Amino acid sequence: MQWISDVSVGDWLRDRVEDDWSIHHFVPRGYEAYARIFHPARVRSLPDRTMPELDEWMGMPQAEQSRLMELFTEDETTWAATAEAFGTTMHALAQWQRLVKTPTDADWNTRIAPDGREFTSPDEGGMPTSTLAAIAAQLVPHTTTPDAGFVAVWEGWGGLVGALGEGTARAWIEATDNPAHEHVLKQSFRDRFNNPFRKAKWQPGILSDEISKGTRLSLPDRDHVLFSAAPAAFADQDWVLDAPWRDRPAEEHGSEPWAQHPSILWPADRAWVMVSEIDYDSTIVAGSRALIQAICADAALEALPISEGADLNWDADTVNR
C-alpha cells in the first residue's frame, strides 16, 4: 500500500456521484446492482430479569451494579434478530431507530426490547475487521485486478492527518503513584486562553507531514487521502499491519495495531466499488448482479439488495413507521 499524490485516478467517482441525498451522494451510479451490508449491532442480557433502564441503573448501590456487571452477557447480533425482538419488519431500507421502536426525542442508540434484552445500535462509519474480510472475500473473485486497486480514507478521522492549530494533537495520560511525576504532568497542561497571542503550531498526525499537507480526493462533502492497495489484501484481517495509516503513535503507548478501514475501495478495473460512508450504519457495494447475489447469500454477512437511487436517510423507513 502506497500513498498517491495524483488523485486524478479517483476523478471517475466524482463524475458518477450526485448532489442529492440518495445513496448516490456517496455511491457512484451506473452499476448493474447494489447491496446494503448491515453493520452488526450488540445485545446484552441478564439471566432471569430485564436489563435496567439508565435511571434505575444510576440509582443502584455500587455493590449491586458490580454484581450485575458480572452477570451481563454481550454478543453481536443482526438487524433481523433485532426486528424480531421488537416486533418490527426487517427490510432493505430499514432504519435502526424505527426497527427498535424509538419514541420521539428518545435515545435510539440503546433500547430495551419487550423480552428484557438491551440492543445497542451498529457503528456508523465502522465495521469489524471480520465483516470487512468477509466482504473482500466476495469482492476479489469479481475483478480482473485483485492485486491492483485504490483505497480512499476520509481525512476527518481523529488524529489521521496533521493540522495547524492549538490543542489538536492527541495526548496520552500515564497513571502513576509518583507525586513528583504527577506534579510535572499537571504542569505540562496549559490553558491556551491565558496566552491569546500564541501562534498556532503544526500538530502532527498519524500520517506523515508530507501526506497530511498533500492533495485530497475531493468528493461531495468528503475529502479523502488516497492510497494504492490490492483489494485481495483486505480479505486478511491482518491487513492493518501493512496500512500506511496504521496508528503507530497509539501502539507506542500500548495499543494493539489498528487502522481505520477504507472509506472507499475499488479495483483498478472498476468492476465494483465498496463505500463505507461515515454517517451510514451499513456499507454499500456496487457491482455486477452476480457479485451482489454472492454477497447477499453469504452467511457471514447480513446483506440485502437495494435499487439504484435508494434512499437511506433517517426517515426513509416507511415500513416501520
pLDDT at residue 68, rounded to an integer:
62
296 with 141: CB under 8 angstroms?
no
Cell (9 digits) for 302: 447480513
Mean pLDDT of the residues in the chain: 85
| Torsion sign across C-alpha atoms 28, 33, 39, 45 | positive
Asked which of 75-89, 96-110, 224-238 is least confident by mean pLDDT, the reply is 96-110
Cell (9 digits) for 91: 427490510
What angle is formed at CA 6 by the lines to CA 3 and CA 11, rounded to 5 degrees? 115
pLDDT of 137 > 90? The answer is yes
Alpha-carbon distance of 49 to 59, in angstroms, equals 17
48 with 76: CB under 8 angstroms?
no
What angle is formed at CA 156 by the lines to CA 134 and CA 172, rounded to 5 degrees? 95
| Torsion sign across C-alpha atoms 50, 52, 53, 55 | positive
pLDDT of 99 > 80? The answer is yes
pLDDT of 133 > 50? The answer is yes
pLDDT of 197 > 60? The answer is no
Ordered alpha helix ranges (H), the chain? 11-16, 54-58, 62-69, 79-86, 96-99, 129-139, 179-187, 209-212, 248-251, 289-297
47 with 127: CB under 8 angstroms?
no
Cell (9 digits) for 39: 453493520
Alpha-carbon distance of 228 to 243, in angstroms, equals 10
Query: Count of CB atoms within 10 A of residue 56's CB?
Result: 10
pLDDT of 164 > 50? The answer is yes
pLDDT at residue 185, rounded to an integer:
47
Alpha-carbon distance of 276 to 26, in angstroms, equals 9
* pLDDT above 90 coverage of the chain, percent: 53
Using a CB cutoff of 8 Å and minimum separation of 24, what contacts does 241-248 make? 242/1, 243/1, 244/1, 244/2, 244/3, 244/207, 244/211, 245/153, 245/160, 245/206, 245/207, 246/206, 247/159, 247/206, 248/206
- 285 φ/ψ angles, rounded to the nearest 5 degrees: -120, 130
pLDDT at residue 314, rounded to an integer:
85
Torsion of CA 189, 193, 199, 202, to 10 degrees: 50
289-297 vs 129-139: helix axis angle to the nearest 10? 140
How far from chain centre, in Å, is Cα 250?
18
pLDDT at residue 275, rounded to an integer:
96
Asked which of 28-32, 106-110, 168-172, 254-258 is least confident by mean pLDDT, the reply is 168-172
Average pLDDT of the segment spanning 217-232:
93
